[in-house]
Amino acid sequence: MPPRKRRFVTIQILPEGAGEAWTFRLSRPFFEFLFYALIIALFAAAFASVKIMQIQGKVFLANQLAVRNQELLAQQQKMVQIEQELAAVTQKEQAIRDILEAFVSDGPVREAPAAAGWNGNDIYAYFDNLSAINRRLESKDKSLAQERQPNIWPVKGIVSQRFSTGGAEERHDGIDILAEENAVVVSAARGMVVEEGWDNDLGRYVRINHDFDAETIYGHLASTFVKAGDQLAKGDPLGIVGNTGRSLGPHLHFEIILKGKAVDPLSYLE
């Protein structure tokens, strides 16, 4: 029986200018080992890259939540202060009622309750304080309403398709924003996530209710950070830009819906 011949793979590298060629002679099993090892290394690198991006997204979300938690704590402390001021005002109001009843009651003029310990200046100061508290409460109401208005851009990018109310083929209920793949998408206003799922056209999407009959939709996401029932503040991250659903490239489809009707987002975004 003739001896079995060993198979080899020859690799030759030719220099650009004059010079001797480099020749490498590898056994076929060793060459196959190097080839498969390279394939495995490439897959491992790709997998590691995806995991790193996911971790970065979670770290960014954690930082945003920490900042928001500090803001909510500060707001809670302000509310406690306002409640204390209102309690003090309630006590003063009762004292004022006693004073007024003493001066406007029928019959002989009665002396104002000594326990009140108030004079005319105290009364004026009380009403000034009450007006200041009312102004603060009105300012807070306006601030809350502003938080629920979808007026900040959900992602940085370029508008590639505008809102259109044309026919079935031309109609486009929102705007498309070209953005970098895996760019973080944020909530355009404060609200609650009512849907997080998949649609054949929008791909992976998120729908948020902002009260006052206003909703926003974010489509073609690669992945999301939220689920139905989550409460989001204006600017909180909700997902990353992707290419899911009917899409020709990475972008965000963004809609604003008022009283059940889609409106042009560019009329509201600042």
Q: Give pLDDT, residue 108.
A: 47
pLDDT band for position 123 (50/70/90)? low
Does the reported pTM lie above 0.75? no
> Mean pLDDT over residues 39-43, rounded?
87
Report, as an integer, the average pLDDT of 10-34: 73
For residue 184, pLDDT over 80 is answered with: yes
Tens-digit pLDDT profile for residues 239-253: 999 999 999 999 999
pLDDT computed for residue 175 by the predictor: 94
User: 123 vs 172, which has greater pLDDT?
Assistant: 172
CATH class, range 158-267: mainly beta
> Checking DSSP bridges between strand 203-209 and strand 158-161, what pairing results, if any?
unpaired
The domain ranges of the chain are 67-147, 158-267
Residue 116, pLDDT score: 47
The string of DSSP codes covering 169-213 is TT-BSSEEEE--TTPEEE-SSSEEEEEEEEETTTEEEEEEE-STT
**Angle, helices 120-147/28-104, rounded to nearest 10 degrees:** 150
Determine the average pLDDT of the residues in 147-159: 88
Instruction: Specify the pLDDT at position 112.
Output: 43
Higher pLDDT, 87 or 254: 254
- Taking residue 232's Cβ as centre, other Cβ atoms within 10 Å add up to 22
